[in-house]
Amino acid sequence: MYLDEKEQKFLQETANKIRRKIIDILEDAGSGHSAGSLGMADVFTALYFHILKHDPKNPSWEERDRLVLSNGHIAPVQYVTMAYAGYLPVKELKTLRKLHSRLQGHPHREALPGIETTSGPLGAGLSQAAGMALAARLDGRKHRIYCLMSDGEQQEGLIWEASMFIGNNKLSNITAIMDRNNIQIDGSTENVMPLEPLKEKYEAFGWHVLDIDGHDIEQIVDATNEAKAITYQPTLIVAHTIPGKGVSFMEGDFGWHGKAPTRSQEQKALAELRTMKGKIKSEHE
């Protein structure tokens, strides 16, 4: 789908604004996950500001698309994006990980309107999405289910049980988006537990698989539109991202998987992000 220059600029600037706020609230909280949250800012921006059928003023709207965040530790990017989309006050973001806050380290379904599932145990999101998709089919509903996953959680057996179930039932109303950033808490995914060939594995279970640059919003939009057009099988979008995208000392460093910046690191990161003027692309373009 063609995005005109004005819309591309808006989405890119929004993604960069989201990255800056992620840095801000993580430093304030003193804990949290920096790398994945920054790396998925473009995907979340595209979803909430262009792709999803949703209504922040009516989060329980029956015809809404469902977004399942399986890798719940990147909750900061979801909270910030939802705040800018109108689900909660932006000032509330400062309560991240505070006692009694609605914004805990992993999303909680009953705490915040617009959160579809409670996440924490990695690997469970795709099974939850499968149940939602099958229920939608049985009820004759037309909404879609988007399941966001990390690459590290592909090491969980539950993922593959869900993949087989979804493929076998041809649940084409599911679009899964994998954050392929190649890191996890202990290092490179390919050193901890090699994942490749991911594309061929999912295809063997009956999925349509697309590889994209996860920092190119136009590619993200095009891939989700292609998924909507396929009515005989589910789609997996493998979004290749750079963990810590936009902050030079975080990019590609697995040490930032579950670490928040200090005050001095926050200032350095924000200075770098401000110079990007909204244009964030990968070095692969």
- Cβ contact 74:149 at 8 Å: no
Q: What is the Cα–Cα distance from 187 to 254, expressed in whole angstroms?
A: 6
Residue 263 has pLDDT above 60, yes or no: yes
Question: Is 283 in a helix, a strand, or coil?
Answer: coil
pLDDT at 284: 32
**Which residues have CB under 8 Å from 267's CB, separation 6+?**
none
Average pLDDT along the chain: 94
Q: Quote the pTM value.
A: 0.94
* Domains of the chain in sequence order: 5-275 (3.40.50.970)
Q: How many CB atoms lie within 10 A of CB 3?
A: 16
Q: What tens digit of pLDDT does each residue of 54-63 get?
A: 999 999 999 9
Mean pLDDT to the nearest integer, 128-156 = 97
pLDDT digits 0-9 by tens, 212-259: 999 999 999 999 999 999 999 999 999 999 999 999 999 999 999 999
What mean pLDDT comes out for the span 154-159? Answer: 96
Helix (H, G, I), strand (E, B) or coil at 73: helix
Predicted local distance difference test score (pLDDT) of residue 281: 44
In the prediction, which pLDDT does 121 show? 87
What pLDDT sits at residue 153? 96
pLDDT value at residue 246? 95
Mean local confidence (pLDDT), 106-110:
94
**What percentage of the chain carries pLDDT values higher than 70?**
96
Instruction: Quickly tell me which residue has 């926050």 as its tokens.
Output: 266
The mean pLDDT of 73-92, rounded to a whole number, is 98
Q: Over range 5-17, report the average pLDDT.
A: 95
What digits encode the pLDDT tens for the residues 44-53? 999 999 999 9
The pLDDT of 59-84, averaged and rounded, is 97
pLDDT for 120? 83
Asked if residue 285 has pLDDT above 70, the reply is: no
- Listed in sequence order, the residues at least 6 apart from 32 whose beta carbon sits closer than 8 Å to its beta carbon are 25, 26, 76, 96, 97, 105, 258, 260
Model pLDDT, residue 279: 47
Residue 175 parent element (H or E): strand 174-180
Element (H, E) at 132: helix 125-139
Average pLDDT over residues 139-167: 97
- Over residues 115-131, the pLDDT tens digits come to 999 998 899 999 999 99
User: In this structure, which long-range contacts are made by residues 99-106, counting pairs with CB atoms below 8 Å and at least 24 apart in sequence?
Assistant: 103/75, 103/79, 104/75, 105/31, 105/32, 105/73, 105/75, 106/72, 106/73, 106/75
- Whole-number pLDDT of residue 2: 66
